[in-house]
Amino acid sequence: MFEEVIYLPDSAGETPVDLDVRRVDDGLDVNLAMVDANTPPQFGAVPKAVLLNELRFSPAATAAGAR
């Protein structure tokens, strides 16, 4: 999913602005709300790759404590 979010602005001209995540029997179902890539303001460089090394998700993760 992270690769899609990074590559969508270049490949489809759209960027995600919101998401809906639901638990399903075999994992998660993620739906992205998309807008034209030129609509939201751009801050800094546009990411071109995703590094998944040691990426972890936890129910206890917060903005201050996410790893």
- Residue-wise pLDDT for 9-52, tens only, equals 878 888 888 989 999 998 889 999 999 988 888 888 777 777 77
Tell me the C-alpha distance between 14 and 8, whole Å. 6
Band (64; pLDDT cuts 50, 70, 90): low
List own/partner pairs for 11-18 with CB under 8 A and 24 or more apart: 13/37, 13/38, 15/39, 15/40
Domain boundaries, the chain: 2-36
